[in-house]
Amino acid sequence: MEIVKKHAHILILLALAVGITIFVTVRVIPTRAEVTPRLDPESGADTCPAGFGLEDFESGTDGYREGGGPIISTLPGVEFATTDGQDWMTGDWASGYNGKYPNGAYTSGGQKWAWLGTSQGSGIIDFTDGTASYVSVYTSTYSGLILEAYADDGTFLETSDWADTNIRTGTMTHLSISRTTADIGYVIVHDTGNFWLIDWLCVSKEASAVQDVVINLEADVKPGGSPNIINRTSRGNVLVALLGSENFDVATVLSDTVLFDDASAKKREQPRDVNNDGIEDLVFYFDVQLLNLQNIEPISLPDDTHEACITGSTSDGTRFKGCDSVKLLK
């Protein structure tokens, strides 16, 4: 994925992290779009729309001073590709860099951030199992920064506004690209002077049409009780818990996609630990009269056992299913 070099070259003198003199060749963009708003570095979680994937880079290990490897995204299907011989790396202010602002020139949303090291080129953020309709980052930059969106076949789609220099301000600039359809295969992140970092990567991505994977989770109908009795004449609600695990974060669940026995949820509680395993779960409320259980043929016994399932999707498009047994009363 070669970037067409359309811009003139100049020399600029700066050191991002180690306090030494570095000469680099840079490209000058002849025209610049209006500077996007500068924001509080810690506001990234609030500006990422609900249900979108958010990467804050806090799970990484410093890749420059502590020997950590390239960034492995916590967002499924999002990869930080190698460009110009440089790997994306996690940076950690605790490792001795000249930040975070106000003590240094650069800043970030948290303790850690993403960058390409001291010899930066252009970065690629690749969507490997689908395409995206929205991509945004926060940047702290001396040399400016811009996002360019491309389709899977390399066709240029759109560019963000230009982020001008914002060091020593205690703010970060928000760059975003929003499309009406999910056609972004990857984005290229680049500047004119190789001195920048990013934080708060926000993505809305659709899974590939050829991918039809449903992960199986644990569910608990009427949590805390047994047996799980549902009276079909009830005008109330039945509570269903979707159980989190070390491999599944319930915070990624899109509530408006959740169904239980074909009924949509009336409301959702805040995440809490239902089964006392130290991991947060989600409890949903469903109107008994809207459940598909109402369509089951009349039963002759006082109660009868059936399987009922809760289904839905996460913010990265992963579908899930969890089932539990229920006993029906007439």
Ordered per-residue pLDDT tens for the chain, 330 residues: 232 222 222 222 223 333 333 333 333 333 333 345 677 888 888 888 888 999 999 988 898 888 777 888 888 889 998 777 778 999 999 988 888 998 899 999 999 999 988 767 789 999 988 899 999 999 999 989 999 999 999 999 999 989 999 999 999 999 999 998 899 999 999 987 778 999 999 999 875 543 445 788 999 999 987 788 888 888 899 999 999 998 899 999 988 889 998 889 999 999 999 999 999 999 999 999 888 775 555 444 455 677 889 998 888 778 899 998 888 876
Classified by CATH at the fold level, domain 8-207 comes out as Jelly Rolls (2.60.120)
Specify the pTM: 0.55
What span, in angstroms and rounded, lies between the C-alpha atoms of 200 and 213?
28
Q: Tally the C-alpha atoms within 13 A of residue 43's C-alpha that lie toward its C-beta.
A: 12
Q: What is the pLDDT of residues 165-195, one digit of tens each?
A: 999 999 999 999 999 889 999 999 998 777 8
Instruction: Decide if 211 contacts 74 (C-beta within 8 A).
Output: no
Which whole-number Å values give the CA distances from 106 to 64, 100, 102, 113, in the listed order?
A: 17, 6, 8, 11
What span, in angstroms and rounded, lies between the C-alpha atoms of 213 and 210?
9
Enumerate the domain spans of the chain.
Answer: 8-207, 214-329
The class (CATH top level) of 214-329 is mainly beta
The residue written with tokens 């953020």 in the block is: 125
Enter the tokens of residue 252: 């990624």
Q: Could you tell me the sign of the dihedral formed by the alpha carbons of 258, 264, 270, 273, in that order?
A: negative
